[in-house]
Amino acid sequence: MASELGPLRPAPEPPSTTAPPPRQGTLPEPRSGTGTAPLSVLLVEDDPADALLIETLLADSGLGARPRWASTLADALLALRTRPPQCVLLDLHLPDARGRRVLAEVLAHAAGAAVVVMTGLAGERDGLAAVAAGAQDYLIKDRVDPDLLRRTVSYAVQRKQTEAAAAALQAERLRAEENARLARGLLPVPLLGDVPRVRVTARYRPGRSTALLGGDFYDVVEDDHGVVHAVIGDVSGHGPDAAALGVCLRIAWRTLVLSGVRGPALIRYLERITLAERAGPEMYATVCVLALHPGDPVLRVLRAGHPGLLIRSPTGVRLADPARGPALGLLAGADWTQDEVELPPGGSAVLFTDGLCEGRLGGAGAARLGEDGLVALANRLTGLPGPAFTDGLMADAEAVTTAGDGFADDVAVVLLEPVPHDPGASG
């Protein structure tokens, strides 16, 4: 308690048990909120007589506060650091500092504590100035009675708490807005023709820690020739830098596709963009892009450090592992080759980011779902329509993680189902 700090001394016993007797004319107040912990108060006062007066008033106030006492600014700052109080009762005239400097130092170190400045009779103006500078309230020492002290301290603490809660709420709101903005940039509305050649089901789930937006992104664009292009990607790491690079790569991909850039050249451009736009040398990105030509069951696929894709047929699901090159931003002079994956009749392609199969399985050890586990889960959902399959797969992959505590990382899944463009023709 008080004896932990140098110049402090033990607080007086409650007045009901020993002298001094309760002051005349003050009714014993009920303790603030019966059963709650007494307020912690730091009394910063160099005059022992004044300190005793305030302690006695506090004892009579019903706040249940047993103040710790610091008689210099240095001791006050030490006390604020080691055991932050809820309220500081502060005299501005101390042996080692005076006036505005005392207040500024105490406010800077007070963190969540309410600061109530105590002035002398002639100090009304100092008190008002202190409140303007950030103190919660002020008291004129010679005019204080226990009731006024109780109200002033309680209200100051309450105001400080409200202030802190409002600030936290505001920070939370700003972060949510920022995440929403970035999420919009990462997860667009597919750019398809009036009569879409594919049905797109896209899903995104943020990781367990929503404060850390990841860099997963996807996009789908149909070009003037009816070719449907899709991309899924994952920027390493989490947070605004990863998300910003994800947005950047998605827009770059969309622009390149609309400009007619195809194949390995497109990946080389994305590599250059990654190198130019990333926030630090540790960042890299993985992507998988595919093109689906009208009436052609063969998918053209390019991979840069990204997992494979799931190929669904009406009877089952398999993992396709087409040729791949390195992730973007890792290897100087890297190159990528295009590969082909055949889509079975009535089939669909499912692009995903690795968060989908990184979920930690229950039980001992650190086993993860993995790609094989994912395929096994997917096969249990054979025959479901695209959206139900996608939702089911994400739900199942999440459910098998430990205690269902959810995906640690972001997860994006995009399912592409060709729809016969001219049902009368080849089907």
**Site residues for another protein per CB under 8 A:** 212, 234-238, 280-284, 286, 304-307, 324-327, 330-331, 334, 354, 358, 360, 365-366, 368, 370, 408-409
- What are the beta bridge partners of residue 325? 304
328 or 415: CB nearest another protein? 328
Smallest gap from residue 270 Cβ to another protein (A): 14
Cα–Cα distance, 288 to 279 (Å, whole number) = 22
48 or 370: CB nearest another protein? 370
CA atoms within 13 A on the CB side of 45: 24
Cα–Cα distance, 89 to 154 (Å, whole number) = 12
Smallest gap from residue 193 Cβ to another protein (A): 33
295 or 370: CB nearest another protein? 370
Q: Are 208 and 406 in contact (CB under 8 A)?
A: yes
157 or 288: CB nearest another protein? 288
Smallest gap from residue 340 Cβ to another protein (A): 19
132 or 366: CB nearest another protein? 366
3-state secondary structure of 76: helix
Smallest gap from residue 342 Cβ to another protein (A): 22
Smallest gap from residue 326 Cβ to another protein (A): 2
Residue whose C-alpha is closest to residue 218's, from 229, 226, 230: 230
128 or 408: CB nearest another protein? 408
213 burial via Cβ count (<10 Å: 0-12, 13-18, 19+): buried
Number of H helices, E strands in the chain: 9, 17
Residue whose C-alpha is closest to residue 340's, from 310, 298, 306: 298
Cα–Cα distance, 88 to 68 (Å, whole number) = 10
CA 231 to chain centre: 27
Residue whose C-alpha is closest to residue 87's, from 127, 115, 108, 60: 115
Smallest gap from residue 357 Cβ to another protein (A): 11
Smallest gap from residue 305 Cβ to another protein (A): 4
219 or 358: CB nearest another protein? 358
